[in-house]
Amino acid sequence: MNLSEIKKLIEIFDNSGVSRLSLKQNDFELKLDKQSISTQIPSRQAPSQTITAPQASQLHSTQNETTVQTNTNSGEFITSPMVGTFYKCPSPGAAPYVNIGDTIKKGQTIGIIEAMKIMNEIEAEYDCKIISLEVNDAQPVEFGTKLIKVEKI
**Mean per-residue pLDDT over the chain, rounded:** 76
- What does the pLDDT look like over 13-64, one tens digit per residue? 777 777 777 778 777 777 777 764 433 333 333 333 333 333 333 333 343 3
Measured between alpha carbons, how far is residue 108 from residues 48, 59, 61, 88, 97 in Å?
A: 31, 36, 32, 13, 9
DSSP state of 116: T
Which residue ranges does the chain devote to CATH 2.40.50.100?
76-153
Question: Residue 146, Cα to own-chain centre: how many angstroms?
Answer: 7
Across the range 100-127, mean pLDDT stands at 94
Q: Read off φ and ψ for residue 81, nearest 5 degrees.
A: -85, 0
The topology (CATH level 3) of 76-153 is OB fold (Dihydrolipoamide Acetyltransferase, E2P) (2.40.50)
Q: pTM for the whole thing?
A: 0.52
Rounded distance between C-alpha atoms, residue 108 and residue 13, angstroms: 25
